[in-house]
Each structure stands twice: as structure tokens, then as C-alpha cells.
Amino acid sequence: VDSSLVKRGVVLLCSFVMLVVFFTLPFVSRSRQEEEERQDQEESFRPAAGIVWKDDSAAPKRRTKPETSRGYRVSRCWSCPTQEPGQGPVAPNTTTVASLTPKTGANCVKKVFRKRVLPRYVTVSPQELKDIEDAIHIDVFPSSGLPHLEGANVLMSLWKKCSHITGEANCGDMTYQSVTWIVFDWTGKVLMAVDPPYPSQASKDKNPVFRRGKGLKFINATHVVGLLGSAVQPPYRDYRLFVWNMDQPEEVSLYKVHSHHDVEYNPQTHHFLTFTTQPTSYGYSMEWIDEVDATGQIVHRWNASALMEYVALHEAKLRKQFNRCHSYECRDRIHGNTLAWDWENGYVYFNSRHLDAFYKLEWPGGRVVWGVGRTGHFTLHDLHGRQPNSLVYHAHQLNLLGNNRFALFDNGRMNTFSSTVVIKVDEEEQQAYLEFRYGYPHSNYQPAMGGVLRTPTGSFLASLGYGCFLNEFNTVQPGNASIVEVTPEKQKVWEMHFAPGEKHGWMYYRVERFYSNPLIQANHTTLKCEHCEIHVQVWNSYYSIHPCPGRVYVATKAGYVLHTEAIVFVPYWQQTDVRIGLPCIDYGTHVLIVAVENEAGYSAHVSFTIQSTSRHCRNPCLNKW
């Protein structure tokens, strides 16, 4: 009897186990399949180390163990902090003059002022590096004495292309042999040549060398944000966002964030602003602007269909154009290519290539404040006072200059005449005025790409990176990609080009100018006074539309600090005037240094000879030589 009961119990137990397995197995298999698919999709997008957030309680839980052999990771605080430790918030509309009052009771602390030297970092093959170095030719050297001689560098994503394909239809979308992030100085010396990571496994399988870099821009003195991808037509699904630490160039993080052309970063919310494009049922693509977090989750989305009220007068013409055109350019109705995110004031500026206009939006509300261009609603005025239909045609890289002034690279698609332009916008009167235009030779016509950036000296650095030219038959063929820097007086102060090789050419999307250290200059460095005031002009080491914190020091030659104070670098790479009231200085002649330091701790200084006439001062720091 006992044996039969045991047998029955075993049979019942086995039956129960079989029923449990039968009902749970499909769910387990499905979960395992979904997990495997998710891992396959995200294999190339996991940052090798988690982001160190300012507020860890608000940060998403992310994997912190390195996942790749190259050890990609991201350092803390990508962009300008909004405040210094122990300091109050920086006002967004800070005046350009910082008057620094003397402080008594100095502790005579000795400080080491760090000057940044970019590391020599090369991950490409020796032959690839030689091809790049042989291609760089400086055509116009700057004259001596200009403040952008020391430490001026250029950053770009350089695309090496095959030269056997000709014609406008293929010139911009050639077969690529390699893509390299390069940094070189104003003399043409290559400092960095980096083989970038692949944006995805699918992209690597599709084209092992096709990793076009776009949207490169500095988010602080050491980190660059940009995009990697291979698509040349909407919806640009394979583009991914990356952050690169140039001080430690092995640090690169990739994120599964769909985007194209440009990206912005907000350090206050740790969010990114990107373009995405989606096809519509009408046969053309529509632009979206997405605010996303680091995991790719959409926080806010703006649909460019809101622009249709501004293009209503052109709707019939545009619809006719799209109906008879079968290229991607006709289907891609908006084609945004530049973003500028003024998060302090709640605005986003973006440029539309195919609408020949740029727009100002309220963010995150999305209301269109105004539009300037062929499909905007402001009255346009050219240099001769005429009112043309548009001031630009298929322009690129909207560059904010401050005070409602904007620089653009006008491709001139309608007249095959490319130029750098500056437009002044009067919001109250709803007028837009062309203030400046520098035209490039017909042989430098850029049917696509291109860009312009104003430097701290006030000159304009133009990117002519399409790598094509118009021959005598008015046909576009591969040629030289070049960079030209001109002053507001239209004087060419620097120029270079990439010479094509026997079996390859070069092209790039746009370039970034940056400096190894902040800039500082003084008009008068010899002073005779009892209570001296020193006046210097300073600039941060990179372009930003946001106020960035810094600090100035007055010190002896040995580095003993007499006075220090926090400052704010004026946005738009404009000059920041700093006036320093010196503390009490002993009678006699002294050599002091005034140093400026940015948020990364890098500094530059200028020396002053001070002849003090004060006979009642005794400053103990001056005796510490």
C-alpha cells in the first residue's frame, strides 16, 4: 500500500511540474528572445562607464562596468556649470565689464597656473596619417601679432573619399575609404587623428568605413558632442550621438539616440536636443525636434508642421515642386541642419535648408516666434536696400552672434554663388537686414554642406568642405576641401586646403575653432599709480551661446596670489572686459601677472610692470619671491 501511494505521489508531482513548464515556457522563451534582440540592438551603444550625474538621486540606473576593450567612458560635468562651488548662480545677462574690488588680508597662497597642452593621440594607420598630413596645405598664413596665433586649433571629421566618381549627383555621396576625427593647429601640424567607433553593428556591416561625423561642437572646454552615422537620406535612422573627451581622447561614449545633422546639450537637465525626420502619408518627410534624455527617452517633441502657416503662400508652389521631383531633397521638406538651444531664456533657433529660412521657437512650448527667409514673415533687405525673396539659399550652420545678429553660410544653391553672410533681425519692426556678405569664387561653390563660425578676433571662419568644384563646363567634380578665415573688412587672414591624392579626395561637414587655453590681452601693461586699476580683455577657449564661469588672479611672478575673483565669460565668444582694482602695493617697481582661468582649470596670463607711488603700503605677499 505504501508503495502505491508513493507511486501516485510521484505521478501527481511530475504532472504538476509538466503543467507549470507547459504554461510558462512560451513566456520565458519570448522574454529571452526579446532580451537577446534588445542586447543585439544595444550592443554598440552602451557607454563603457556610467554617467556621473550632478544629482545621483535623479540619475537613471545605468551600467558602470566597462563593456568594450577601448574603455570608453564619460567624465563628469560636460558643459559649463551654472555656478561655482560656494557661489551663487550666474546671471544669464551679465554685463561685459567685471569690476573687481581689492581684498585685504591675503593669505599669500601660491597657485600653479595650468597651461593646457593637447596630447598627441593617433589611432589611425601610419599610411592614413601620412595621407592626411600630405593633404594639408596652408595657403595664407596670419600676420604676426594676431591674438589667435598661439594655441589656435581646428577640429573636424575628415572623410576620405574615392575620386573616380564625378558629377553633382554623386560628388557629395561618394564611396568613403576612411573617416577620421582630426585636430590640427594653424600651421597645419596634426595633433590628433582618431579612428572613431562605429555607430552600430548594422552600420559596420553595411559599410565598414562609412561613419560620417556631423554636428561636432564643444559643450565645455574639454568635451565635444556630435553624431556618427552613414545615412545620406531621411530618416537617418543609423545616426547615433557621441560625447568625446579631448583631454583623454580614449574616452568616447555612444548613445542610442536617433538624430541627424546637429545636437545640443543642456547641463542643467542633462538632456539633448536633436533633429529627427519621419516620412508622412503625403510622400514627403517631416522634421521633428526632440528633447531626449541620455537613455533616448523623448521628453519634449516639436513637429515642424507648425511651420506650415508660415509657408502657406508658398504651399501650392512647393506641392507642385514636390510632385514633379523624385529626389530625396524634394521629399525632405524641411531639412533642419542647425540647432541652437538658449535654455536660459527658453528659446530654440534652427535653420531649415530647404525652406531657405531660420526660425525662433519657444521651448518647450513650441510656439513659432518668428521666421526669417524665403518662407518667413519678416520683410527682407539686402545690402542695396532692395527687398529680395530670400537672403540665403540652402544655407548651413546658423551661428548666433548676440543682439539678434546671425551668421550663416549661404550655399547659394539658386545662383551657384556661395558666401558668408551676417543678418540683423529687428523683432519689433519685423525686419531683417543683410549686414555683411563675403562671396567666394565660383570655383568654390558649395552645393551642400559648409559652415561659418565667428572667432574671438571678430573674423569669420568658413568651411568649404564639399570637396567639389565647377569646371569650365559648369559641371561639379571632386576638388579641394578648404577653410577660409576673413575679417569684417573682408581681408583674408588664414586659408588652407586638403589636396586630393591620386586615388582619393577629401570632404568634411564643418569645422570648429578652439584654443588650448583661454585668451587674454591688455592694451597697457606698464602702469605708474598709487591705487592702480588693471584692464584686460579675456575670451573663453571655445564658442558658446551661454555665459560660462571663470576666474581671474593677480599674482607675483612666483605665483603668490594677491587677489582673485570670479568672472563670467560673455556668450557668443564676445570680448569680456575685466577691470581689477589692485590691492595695496609697496612703493617701487613690481612685475605682476594677471591670469584668467576657465571652468576646466586651464589658464593664460599677461605680465604687468607696476610702479607704485604709495609710501604707506606693506603687502607681505610681494616679499615672497
pLDDT of residue 310: 57
Do 132 and 267 share a domain, yes or no?
yes
In the prediction, which pLDDT does 327 show?
Answer: 54
CA distance 29 to 24: 9
pLDDT surpassing 70 at residue 318: no
Q: Is residue 4 part of a domain?
A: no
Residue that is written with C-alpha cell 568613403 in the block:
176
- Please tell me what DSSP assigns to residue 174: P
Per cent of the chain over pLDDT 70 is: 69
pLDDT of residue 349: 97
Closest to 391 measured CA to CA, from 454, 339, 437: 437
Q: How confident is the model at residue 551 (pLDDT cuts 50, 70, 90)?
A: very high
Q: Does 339 have pLDDT greater than 70?
A: yes
pLDDT-derived band at 305, boundaries 50, 70, 90: confident
Same domain, 396 and 381: yes
Q: Are residues 375 and 490 in the same domain?
A: yes
Domain that holds residue 600: 97-114+518-623
* 467 shares a domain with 372: yes
Q: Parallel, antiparallel, or unpaired for β 588-597 and 492-498? A: unpaired
Q: Could you tell me how many residues make up the chain?
A: 625
What integer is the mean pLDDT of 172-196?
A: 81
Q: Is there a single domain that holds both residue 196 and residue 323?
A: yes
Is residue 396 within 8 A of residue 335, CB to CB? The reply is no
Residues 619 and 482 in one domain: no
pLDDT tens column, 27-82: 544 444 444 334 334 433 333 333 332 333 333 333 333 233 233 333 333 444 44
Question: Cell digits for 28?
Answer: 520565458
- pLDDT for residue 79: 43
Residues 441 and 549 in one domain: no
Dist CA 248 CA 243 (whole Å): 12
Residue 262 and residue 273 in contact, taking contact as beta carbons nearer than 8 Å: no
Let me know whether 304 and 268 are in one domain: yes
Residue 260 lies in a domain: yes
Count structural domains, the chain: 2
Q: Is 146 within a domain? A: no
pLDDT at 303 over 50: yes
How far the first Cα of the chain sits from its last, in Å, is 104
On whether residue 301 sits in a domain, the answer given is: yes
Q: Is residue 46 part of a domain?
A: no
| pLDDT, average across residues 548-556 | 94
Residues 232-290 have pLDDT tens digits of 555 555 567 889 999 988 888 877 777 788 999 998 898 999 988 776 655 566 788 99
pLDDT of residue 42: 40
What's residue 321's pLDDT? 53
What DSSP character marks residue 333? S
Q: What is the CATH number of the domain that holds 545?
A: 2.60.40.1930
Residue 31 lies in a domain: no
Which residue, 515, 535, 561, sits at the end of a domain?
Answer: 515
Q: Same domain, yes or no, for 527 and 426?
A: no
Can you give the C-alpha Rg of the chain in angstroms?
A: 28
- Which CATH number characterizes residue 291's domain? 2.120.10.30
Confidence of residue 502 (pLDDT cuts 50, 70, 90): confident
Which of 491, 515, 539 represents a domain boundary (last residue)?
A: 515
Three-class DSSP category at 479: coil
Tell me which of 515, 544, 560 is where a domain ends: 515
Report the DSSP pairing between strands 190-194 and 121-122: parallel
Same domain, 462 and 505: yes
pLDDT at 206 over 80: no
Q: Are residues 548 and 476 in the same domain?
A: no
Report yes or no on 550 lying in a domain.
yes
**Does residue 53 belong to any structural domain of this protein?**
no
Q: Do 575 and 519 touch, CB atoms closer than 8 A?
A: no
Query: Are both 455 and 429 inside the same structural domain?
Result: yes
- Mean pLDDT score across all residues of the chain: 77
What's the rounded Cα separation, in Å, for the pair 346 and 361? 9
Strand order from edge to edge, sheet including 240-245: 212-218, 223-229, 240-245, 252-255
3-state SS, residue 36 = helix
